[in-house]
Amino acid sequence: IQQASIAVEQDLTNKERQNTARKEAELNTELSLIKQRGEQVMQETEKIKAEIAADLEKQVAQIQAETLKKAAEIKKKTAAIAADRVRVLGQAKATAIEKVDGEKANGLQLKTAAFGDPVAYAQWRFADTLNPRMKLNIIHAGDGTLWTDLEKTGFAELGGAQQLQKKK
């Protein structure tokens, strides 16, 4: 009986050892799965971090590209406005010159028409623009008497008259 009882106990002990071994195997399997799942989570986390970093870099690059594009568009519009400004100012200056010079020409036409002759108008302009303080001396001289009468007129002091006197 004792042998039977020991055999039963031995059998129970073996079953418990098998259960313990099975449970240890299950525990090792579960620990292995936990470790594997932990590594998988770490890899997925790194992958997500890399994707986020790549997406962030992409967004930054897009924003920079859009900024450069908008800056170029603004520069283009600014250049167009500057070109229009130069063109409009040039046209305005040309129109002003055309009108002013055209009216000056019309005025000259009216003045020459008033004199009846362009030559008469030119002579009047010449006479009108002479210095009012200018002295006019009329010297009557005959053949060979100009040089002798030159001293009486006051022209003898002039440089050109002195040169003529020296050549005598």
Q: Cα separation of 34 and 28, whole Å?
A: 10
Residues of the chain above pLDDT 70, percent: 82
pLDDT at 68: 98
Q: Cα separation of 81 and 10, whole Å?
A: 104
pLDDT of residue 69 exceeding 60, the answer is yes
3-class DSSP state of 130: coil
Residue 77 Cα to chain centre, angstroms = 10
pLDDT of residue 144 exceeding 70, the answer is no
pTM here is: 0.44
Burial of 62 (0-12, 13-18, 19+ CB in 10 A): exposed
pLDDT tens per residue, range 85-130: 999 999 999 999 999 999 999 999 999 999 998 899 999 998 889 8
Is the model more confident about 41 or about 158? Answer: 41
Is the model more confident about 135 or about 110? Answer: 110
Q: Cα separation of 89 and 130, whole Å?
A: 39
The two structure tokens encoding residue 41: 């989570």
Q: Cα separation of 13 and 5, whole Å?
A: 12
